[in-house]
Structure 1
Amino acid sequence: MANCAWSEKVLRLLRRMNNFHSAGSCRPSCLRFEVDGAQVGWIPPHVAPLLTRYPEVFCPPRGGAVCLSPGLDSYGRRSEAVDGVLQNLRQEGTLSCLRGWRDERYSVMPTFSDAPLMWMERAATGLFGVTRYGVHVNGYTMGGCGEVSMWLGRRSLSKQTYPGLLDNVAAGGLAAGVGVKHTAVKECQEEARIPASVAEEARPAGTVSYTYEDDEGVYAETQFVFDLELPPEFRPSVGDGEVQDFLLLPIHEVKELLVTDDFKPNCAMVVLDFLIRHSFIQPDTEPCYQHFMAGLHHTL
């Protein structure tokens, strides 16, 4: 039978990571962000007034939406014009999220399969609620008797976000123009020094999606999930400094850890998804099973 206290902690995690869908969120006050007639995000109420100062880039709000100026009719023009606005706002220093400027370009499009309409600086995506895509890799090993253990990374204390917390063996954002599998292999090499010949064996296992809000903005995220069975004798090692150490833990210990404050929240969701897909959590014994599934695949 399921541990009710553990299940409730999981539900709290999922509610937190999907609080944009909750009663009392800023969603009713947000404006749709539309590009070339398609919605690509949500503009929080504290951001919309700032955009009216740039009428050459953003049209005045109309019908509950903010659109780009009609003259910005190409990928390049849109990207450069919006980036110019963001650079100005960055210099003003009033938006805290822009202090974490990364010089990383993220594609902006209605859905992942659509052609990108523009790119946007990663640190600014929450100001427009555009979906950010990333890749997370579950690294695990199989023992001689079939027991499963999972490799977890502990994030560097110098990381801008969630320093020192537990993470998947490799993970990273999906930069504009870069493929999903390529990103998975690259992150495995860079973060955990997993050779390409091994990382190429990672199997795509679906996605985890959620949308949350905080004081800085709205964050709609979809993580492409990969499972990578690592040889028992292999040990990941610190690569680019994103991670300070790696731990190999029995799956039951990982399950308990994912509901603690020691785990990066979205990585905990990726591990929860792994536990469900590999039948460590089953519908006959977990009364919150359906709620878990809904919380892991919550889209706008």
Structure 2
Amino acid sequence: MAAPGWSESVRTLIRTMNSFHLPGSSKSACFPFLVEGQQVGSVPVSVAKELSAYPEVFTVYQNADTFPSHQVELNTKLLAYEQRSAAVHQVLEELRGKNLFQCLNEWRDERYEVMRQFSDQPLMNMERAATPLFGVKQYGVHINGYLWRGGELFMWLARRSSTKPTYPGLLDNLASSSVQPSSLYPLQLAAGGISTGLGIKETLIKECQEEACIPESIASHAKPVGSVSYTYESPKGIYPECQFVFDLELPEDFVPKPGDGEVQEFYLWPLEKVKEAIATSDFKPNCALVVLDFLVRHSFIQPDQERYYLEFVEGLHRTL
């Protein structure tokens, strides 16, 4: 049976990572963000106020006597993917220059696709660092690397580089990466070229090679086992995230090695030690959820022994 302290700590983790759904959050005050009539995000009040200064790009409704009473809509005159993306990018560049929003200090020059759900054709893109300002959904792929030794289950964990811009030095899954939804759909670019991106499994194989020096001959055996989804808010904005989860059983004699500087060290720990670690501040929070999902799926946590079992399972699969 899990120690009461562990259960309460994990329960706090689940609630923190789903804080947008809890009483007292900003959810009811947020402005739905619409593109082409589809809600693709949620805009905090402070952000909507700034966006109202750009009527050529955003239409901000905020009158209790009208319908809709409050929402942010991308100007309907912006019809094309590239046109929308360029217009929004210009606004974000200006907001960045004003130093109004903390998340824009993490500017990456990396565009992120925007759509209602993952299976839809992207409607536009925006700077990845700005997505929390619009509550745009983000997607990633996480790999649980494990092996059996002497009848006991072990898991490989990564220690993030101390120079990472987010969560430096914390424990992480074996490998992880963001996933671009456009990988499922070719996009016609203004210059006439085609951008297809990488598929989910291709992204996984690429990250395994780059982050952990795992060859494709091994990484290709990773099995898709579901997803973990949650939405939290912080002073930086709103984070609806979904992680595609894969399990990869590694050969007992294989040792991952840091490759591209994203990881400083790898550890092979028995699952009991991993279980204890996810309840501490030493673990990157969303990666801790991915490990918790692994523990549930492999019956390391069972409903007769964990009083918050249902709360854990439900908290790992919240609708974005």
Is 1:231 equivalent to 2:231 in the alignment? no
Match of 1:151 in 2: 156
The one-letter amino acid of 1:26's match is S
Tell me if structure 2 keeps the 8 A contact 1:39–1:110: yes
**Structure 2: distance between partners of 1:60 and 1:125:** 18
Gaps of 5+ in 2: 63-67, 184-197
Contact 1:17 1:212 in 2 (8 A): yes
Q: Give yes or no for the alignment of 1:166 onto 2:171.
A: yes
Q: TM-score, normalised by structure 1?
A: 0.97
**Residue aligned with 2:299, SS:** coil
Letter in 1 for 2:22: S
1:113 aligns with 2:133: no
Alignment check: 8 A CA contact 1:29 1:45 kept: yes
* 1:50 to 2:50 alignment: yes
Asked if residue 287 in structure 1 is aligned to residue 307 in structure 2, the reply is yes
Which secondary structure state, in structure 2, belongs to the residue aligned with residue 135 of structure 1? strand
1:74 to 80, 97, 109: 80
* 1:148 counterpart SS class: strand
**Alignment pair present for 1:269 and 2:269:** no
| Counterpart contact for 1:106–1:174, Cα < 8 Å | no
Cross-structure match for 1:241 = 261
Give me the whole-angstrom Cα distance separating, in 1, the residues matched to 2:101 and 2:10.
Answer: 32
Aligned residues: 299
Is contact 1:2–1:287 with CA below 8 Å preserved after alignment? no
Equivalent residue for 1:19? 19
Find the aligned partners of 2:160 and 2:32 in 1 and give their Cα distance: 35
* 1:131 maps to 2:137: yes
| Per-residue deviation, 1:261 | 0.8
The answer to whether structure 1 residue 102 and structure 2 residue 108 are counterparts is: yes
* 2:142 and 2:246 in contact (8 A); partners too: yes
Q: What amino acid is aligned across from residue 99 of structure 1 in structure 2?
A: N
SS in 1 for 2:176: strand
**TM-score, normalization by structure 2:** 0.91
Contact 1:96 1:216 in 2 (8 A): yes
Runs of 5+ unmatched residues, structure 1: none
Structure-2 separation of matches of 1:2 and 1:51: 48
**1:60, distance to aligned residue in structure 2 (A):** 2.5
Q: Deviation digits for residues 185-221 of structure 1, max 9, x if unmatched?
A: 1111111011111111111111100101111111100
User: SS in structure 2 opposite 1:94?
Assistant: coil
- In the alignment, residue 303 of structure 2 is paired with which amino acid? P
Return the alpha-carbon distance in structure 2 between the equivalents of residues 99 and 179 of structure 1: 29
Question: Contact 1:97–1:216 at 8 Å: present in 2 too?
Answer: yes
Structure 1, residues 91-150: CA drift from partner, whole Å, max 9, x if none?
A: 22221111111112211111111111111111000000010001110011111x331100
